A and B are shown apart, each in its own frame.
Chain A
Amino acid sequence: MYCSCSDDKSLHNKSELFAFKKRTEGLPVIFRTGVLVACLVVGFPALAAAQDAETERAIEKYRQMMKEDPWSNPALLDADRGETLWKTPRGPNKVSLEQCDLGKGPGKVEGAFAELPRYFADAGRVMDLETRLLWCQETIQGFQHADLIKNPHPGGGQPVKDTGAMATWIASKSDGMTFAAKLDKPQEKEIVALGEALFNRRSGPFDFACTTCHAEAGKRIRLQPLAHLITKDGAKVMGEWPAYRVSSTHVMTMQHRLVDCYWQMRLPAPEMGSELTVALIAYLTKNAEGDPISAPGLKR
């Protein structure tokens, strides 16, 4: 499920490898080899240093190719599934989520993601999109919280879970907008400050904090460029989540992405919907204020 080249995931079986090759057709062989080597067998000492720049260029070309045809994004299938889930009567109470208030009124989905996270008086806490979806499923449909947060994220090759599929659809309904969460209520200001403290907090056997990788521009882990998340420009990547990840062949949501970071930091996996996750997402969204949303994204 995980590979040691940090931010990236390995390919899991032959069909995924085939799909990967299809996607990278037309790219220089060196690049295909390079990515596979970087991802699968960390440290296959094959390529010469002079080819480093060429590898970088090839990776950029790959990213452009993924973006050129927006309808090729498999995440759109999950968004469709999410829309159906939202509108279908489910749970012990056999009702749909169309009475769920994402902040702009019951059932109002258009542009809701662009204004999250926000404080919800009915819940008495600040929530990001996924945490709000958990809350709605519990309070409206009667699902059990413990069931919803047990194994809440997909493994390699599995489809994104129901909450993630709905989050993908709802985020896609803010596609083309900009991050505009106000985050000006006292509870919202407090959680942003909490998120900043967590972002800077170094602990664990590796002494890592989020800042270890994400507080400086132009750095990379292995060949993977790192987002400079403490600036508006660097936090632009926030607008690309939820995203379909080619290398793990499923949609990954922001709550899931944080789990990945904590795995790398040698800390326990954050609980979905916990105050810790909401605080980090609120802080990062604040940094991304005004940045464009292009969700769902498509990542390597």
Chain B
Amino acid sequence: MKTIAFAAAALLAVGISGAAAQQQSKSADKPVTVSAAKVDAVVKAGLPAFPAPPEEWQPRLIPDETMKICSATHNNPPKAQFEAIEKAEKAKIQYPADGNFMGDWKRGERIAQSGYGLRFTDYPARNPNGGNCYACHQLTAAEVSFGTIGPSLLGYGKLRDFKDSEVKAAYEKIYDSHASFPCSLMPRFGANKVLSMDQIKDLVALLMSRDSPVNK
């Protein structure tokens, strides 16, 4: 029973944390509203594009449609928007041509440990981008320095009987978490081009392969 509950919790993975984070803050006594155009202008003025050329940095300042909804609803979108996000984000997922979702868990462990990449001190890039998974998730028993924003992923593959369908689902969650859990707090690593397809496959191996320390 405990195992089932744990599995269910882990299955909900990213979604739960997204939904739990929407505590309303002082909205009751907030008579003043600020227009979206005003917020956009303040962001543009306050965050000068640096250090890479503006064409790389400017798009970062403007939320896409999905992020607009998540920001406005405190990560708790109503049903229609929830479904619209699911659909839009599903369409963004690109799959490996050979249908193989599993890479190398050892490389995956290094990606999970690394928080390098895309910060303003990371230019020009000296290393591949990391996934920084441990910042928010427990993954292996050996690594005690893990965060708790996301659920523990310890035993992830084992709890799913290493099923092929779960391998694919893990790939989809890492590629674009909002396809499964709209307004999840987790980055869309594939859709936002943070990680390459091969790097995502390495992370899938870390979660789903039998010899990975995640499943020991």
Contacts and interface: CB of A to CB of B under 8 A. Distances in A.
Interface of A: 1-2, 4-6, 34, 37-38, 42-43, 45-49, 51-52, 55, 186, 189-190, 192-194, 196-209, 211-213, 215-216, 218-224, 226, 230-231, 262-264, 266-271, 274-277, 279, 286-287
B132 interface: yes
Given A49-B144, A196-B30, A262-B47, A205 B71 contact: no
Contacts of B118: 205-206, 266
B30 A193 contact: yes
A203 B48 CA distance: 15
Interface of B: 17, 20-23, 25-26, 30-34, 38-39, 42-43, 45-50, 57, 60-64, 67, 70-72, 74-75, 112-116, 118-121, 130, 132, 134-136, 140-149, 185, 187-188, 192-194
Contact of B194 (A4, A205, A221): A205
A258 to B, nearest CB: 10
A202 B70 contact: yes
B115 to A, nearest CB: 3
Nearest to B140: A45
A217 to B, nearest CB: 9
Nearest to A47: B144
| 9 nearest A-B residue pairs (beta carbon) | A276-B46, A4-B115, A43-B113, A274-B46, A230-B25, A45-B142, A204-B60, A268-B47, A206-B187
A52 B86 CA distance: 37
B2 to A, nearest CB: 17
Contacts, number: 190
B75 A211 contact: yes
Nearest to B30: A193
Contact of B47 (A208, A267, A287): A267
Contacts of A264: 119
A11 to B, nearest CB: 16
Given A202-B71, A208-B187, A222-B134, A274 B21 contact: no
